[in-house]
Amino acid sequence: MTIHLTPEQERIIQEEILRGHFRDVEEVLDRALAALLEAAPVAQPAARSPKNLVAVLSVPPFAGSELDLERQRDYPRPVNL
């Protein structure tokens, strides 16, 4: 594989090697790739509890089932005093 670096990228890598932060370019790339993998979002299993019923019914297996999630208005009942 051939990687083309900008002059600025090459300068930064060379400076980091000269400062002793890395032994060689391969170590720089290894560290950069490791950081990239750490920063990448990982799909989390559904470990969190849903906050409400709409949240439960909005994800599989209920998602797409065309449930009507609109709340019905509660009308006051007549009260005899």
Q: Assess whether the previous peptide bond of 61 is cis (omega < 30° from 0).
A: yes
Residue spans per domain, the chain: 7-39
pLDDT tens digits for range 38-74: 887 665 565 567 677 777 777 777 776 776 667 667 7
For the chain, percent helix, then strand, then coil, each to nearest 5? 40, 0, 60
pLDDT tens per residue across span 22-42: 999 999 999 988 888 888 766
In our burial notation (b when 16+ CB lie closer than 10 A, e otherwise), range 40-58 reads: eeeeeeeeeeeeeeeeeee
Cα–Cα distance measured from residue 49 to residue 71, given in angstroms and rounded to the nearest whole number: 22
- At 75, the amino acid letter reads Y
State pTM to two decimals.
Answer: 0.47
